[in-house]
A and B are shown apart, each in its own frame.
Chain A
Amino acid sequence: MRSKTTVTVPQANSHTTPGSGGGKGPGKQLREARQLRDLTIDDIAMRLRLDSATVCNLEEENYDNLPEPAFIRGYLRAYARSLGLDPEPVLSSFGDYDLTPPSLIRDIANSPQIRSSHIAVRVTTYLITFCLIALMFSWWQNRMPLSDGVVEQKPPAPQNRASNPESLSHQEVRTATDVRVFPSSNRPHIPENVVTDMHASHRPSNDIDRKNSMTRQPETDVATLLGVENFPEPGFSPLAPAESMLFTTSSLPEQTGTLTTRHPKVTSDVPMTPQAVPEMDHLMLYLSEDCWLEIYDGYGKKLYYQTGFGGKTYEFLGSGPFHIMLGYARGAKVVYNGELFDHTPYIQRELAEFSLGN
């Protein structure tokens, strides 16, 4: 049991006085109020049920000999109230002293804080959000060109084609979800002036080549684009250097192949393979002006659904009958299975819609 039997003479205050400078400390305020009321330290000690030494230490602001700050504040409050004073000024002046809190609370105060408002958490959150947005944008970008089900073919280097004709026995056939080998020999005859040069310069995206893996997929409609541009006015000159776009559609049996490229001129020399491929019709569109094109094959499959550019040739292979809609029909010439088709009777206010084939 701790004992405090005598009233010790208060020692010099070990704490610095409050930073308020000339402001009175809580002890001095209470002592002056007590002396004004002609009360002794013992009277106060009796009222508060405290030792006289404790009251004395309070007045002398000798807090080293007193318990924890929570008790000191309680003593000061009780002391002030016993004198009829408002305890708040006394307590606020005591608040200027920087006393050590209890150990548990001190440990808590010193423990590291990581909250949602912490800069590290915020930066991490922003990074994650940015990455998610970037991934979604990338996914959306890659998905856009495949929406029409038409993809392009990456052209090979000409010297490779010449030096290794066997590798050209297959043509690349790709869909939105698949890449297939399509025997080029099964293709219908294409006028050579159309497929002479395949050094295409306009490629919507090469990402598809990387993204489309060689997987199996049965009975999938396919389409091929052999894109060449700047085809001259369709005069059917066999020597005219031409660039065209070739689209084929077919329902093929399941096949697996390697991703290759071909030159159409070369592939026409490859012997026909015995694989069963349905008869295909050939449609060519020569555009002198920009023209909206909507091409559907006999199965109702959408082959092309966007603007065709003037000066280009578009080829389509597929099962007829083709259903064609031309936005600016006067700027287009239609060749079906090698024969020029006169579509002028179908033109109504620059627009023509007709079907070709049986």
Chain B
Amino acid sequence: MIRRLRGVFSDDLSIDLGTANTLIYVRGKGIVLNEPSVVAIRSERGSGSGQSIAAVGEKAKQMLGRTPAHIIAIRPLKDGVIAEFTVTEKMLQYFIHKVHENRFLRPSPRVLVCVPCGSTQVERRAIRESVLGAGAREVYLIEEPMAAAIGAGLPVSEASGSMVLDIGGGTTEVAVISLNGIVYSESVRIGGDRFDEAIISYVRRNYGTLIGEATAERIKHEVGSAYPGNEVKEIEVRGRNLAEGIPRNFMLNSNEILEALQEPLSGIITAVKTALEQTPPELGSDVSERGMILTGGGALLRDLDRLIMEETSIPVLLADEPLTCVARGGGLALEMVDQKGIDIFAPE
């Protein structure tokens, strides 16, 4: 009863609980929160074994790799699913409270969470329990490709095939959707994190230098490329030389990063090709004619659409605001919760 009362004063939320970023969408307001899925935990010194949250989100991300011994900055989600249950719960609690600040009552919203289509039943249950523990009144799950397709404005309810490729921080989801249902979907555990790891690995192998995740991410954003172009960009990087043990500066260019990203990119291409192979021919024809839509933060990698287009020979189109497609689509789907006859939600 009290939860229902609190629910009246809470906004229903759509949460894109991503490996890299968590986005929260509120109807009528749009994306109200976009913060890194990072939590900094402080271990209490001296007496007791208590731990407390030092920072969440952007502040915690700034601490990554820069923490003293008694603070650890962790990312509680790995490969699109929960790796640290309690920490995820605390992080969600913080985010939900943050979007409801200035409210008299503690919020108890209905929450829709986007989950990878390849997540297991146990992983989905963990997400549900975590969101409930964070104060949600009701929890609905939707598969990320469906949310991405709705957010991108694809005609998911029509009898025509719509293909969506959502490249997130931890996973890449590819799906063919028709008549409000997923006809085929596949999730590969390759995403922005794997791109960063590939860059770190490349730099260590070729330059004998160790760089951190934040540096690798910066390199990816500034000179990362998925297809060789006419323009070659360069970036100056600082890392610890493994032989000398001291920091050194060196230059990296976009062609080197392209080389570094070959392995994860080929994994994505393989997943797309497999999806096209497995798609029923009628739907495949629709996809071939109209093209596939690219969403997610990974879609912002330069010329990724061109790479996929060259590899598959079908049009590849970048969605509007690809980073927020999933959250926006989840928000739109949340409006359909109370409507009969529309079953776009994922079973647990």
Which residue of chain A has the shortest Cβ distance to B160 in the bound complex?
A67
B7-15, B56-64, B202-210, B262-270: which lies at the interface: B7-15
Question: Does A37 interact with chain B (Cβ within 8 Å)?
Answer: no
Task: Give Cα A51 to B288, complex, Å.
Answer: 11
Question: Does B156 interact with chain A (Cβ within 8 Å)?
Answer: yes
> Which A residues lie within 8 Å of B31 (CB)?
none
Question: Does B153 interact with chain A (Cβ within 8 Å)?
Answer: yes
Task: Give Cα A67 to B180, complex, Å.
Answer: 18
B1-32 Cβ-contact flags toward A at 8 Å (1 or 0): 00000001111000000000000000110000
Asked if B339 and A111 make an inter-chain contact with CB atoms under 8 angstroms apart, the answer reads yes
Asked if A70 and B309 make an inter-chain contact with CB atoms under 8 angstroms apart, the answer reads no
Which residue of chain A has the shortest Cβ distance to B314 in the bound complex?
A49
Question: Does A144 interact with chain B (Cβ within 8 Å)?
Answer: no
| Residue from the list A4, A78, A104 in contact with B315, Cβ < 8 A | A78
B127-135, B271-279, B316-324: which lies at the interface: B316-324
| Residue from the list A2, A49, A78, A121 in contact with B8, Cβ < 8 A | A121
Which residue of chain B has the shortest Cβ distance to A91 in the bound complex?
B320
Task: Give Cα A11 to B163, complex, Å.
Answer: 29
Asked if A68 and B318 make an inter-chain contact with CB atoms under 8 angstroms apart, the answer reads no
> Which A residues lie within 8 Å of B319 (CB)?
70, 74
| Residue from the list A48, A70, A111 in contact with B153, Cβ < 8 A | A70
| Residue from the list A4, A77, A113, A117 in contact with B317, Cβ < 8 A | A77
Question: Does A119 interact with chain B (Cβ within 8 Å)?
Answer: no
Asked if B150 and A71 make an inter-chain contact with CB atoms under 8 angstroms apart, the answer reads no
> Which A residues lie within 8 Å of B154 (CB)?
68, 70, 102
Which residue of chain A has the shortest Cβ distance to B334 in the bound complex?
A108
> Which A residues lie within 8 Å of B290 (CB)?
67, 71
Q: How many whole Å from A1's CB to the nearest CB in chain B?
A: 5
> Which A residues lie within 8 Å of B335 (CB)?
108, 111
Question: Does A5 interact with chain B (Cβ within 8 Å)?
Answer: no
Task: Give Cα A304 to B188, complex, Å.
Answer: 84
Question: Does A69 interact with chain B (Cβ within 8 Å)?
Answer: yes
Question: Does B332 interact with chain A (Cβ within 8 Å)?
Answer: yes
Asked if B157 and A49 make an inter-chain contact with CB atoms under 8 angstroms apart, the answer reads no
Question: Does B126 interact with chain A (Cβ within 8 Å)?
Answer: no
> Which A residues lie within 8 Å of B150 (CB)?
104-105
Contacts A113-B27, A116-B11; A105 near B318 (Cβ below 8 A): no
B321-348 Cβ-contact flags toward A at 8 Å (1 or 0): 0000000000010011001001000000
> Which B residues lie within 8 Å of A104 (CB)?
150, 155-157, 180, 332, 336, 342
| Residue from the list B156, B289, B305, B320 in contact with A78, Cβ < 8 A | B305
Question: Does B236 interact with chain A (Cβ within 8 Å)?
Answer: no
Question: Does A16 interact with chain B (Cβ within 8 Å)?
Answer: no
Task: Give Cα A152 to B11, complex, Å.
Answer: 53
Task: Give Cα A73 to B328, complex, Å.
Answer: 17
Question: Does B244 interact with chain A (Cβ within 8 Å)?
Answer: no
| Residue from the list B8, B157, B285 in contact with A102, Cβ < 8 A | B157
Question: Does A103 interact with chain B (Cβ within 8 Å)?
Answer: yes
B246-284 Cβ-contact flags toward A at 8 Å (1 or 0): 000000000000000000000000000000000000100
Question: Does B91 interact with chain A (Cβ within 8 Å)?
Answer: no
> Which B residues lie within 8 Å of A51 (CB)?
289
> Which A residues lie within 8 Å of B158 (CB)?
102-103
> Which B residues lie within 8 Å of A4 (CB)?
289
Asked if B317 and A74 make an inter-chain contact with CB atoms under 8 angstroms apart, the answer reads yes
Asked if A113 and B28 make an inter-chain contact with CB atoms under 8 angstroms apart, the answer reads yes
Question: Does A50 interact with chain B (Cβ within 8 Å)?
Answer: yes
Question: Does A101 interact with chain B (Cβ within 8 Å)?
Answer: yes
Question: Does A309 interact with chain B (Cβ within 8 Å)?
Answer: no
- In the complex, chain A residues 100-141 whose Cβ is within 8 Å of any chain B Cβ: 101-105, 107-108, 111, 113, 115-117, 121, 125
Question: Does A75 interact with chain B (Cβ within 8 Å)?
Answer: yes
Asked if A73 and B157 make an inter-chain contact with CB atoms under 8 angstroms apart, the answer reads no
Q: How many whole Å from A284's CB to the nearest CB in chain B?
A: 55
Give me 6 A-to-B residue pairs in the complex whose CB atoms sit less than 8 angstroms apart, sorted by A's number: A1-B285, A78-B316, A104-B332, A105-B153, A113-B28, A125-B8
Other than the given A49-B315, A71-B290, 5 more pairs (CB < 8 A) read A68-B154, A74-B293, A74-B318, A103-B157, A103-B158
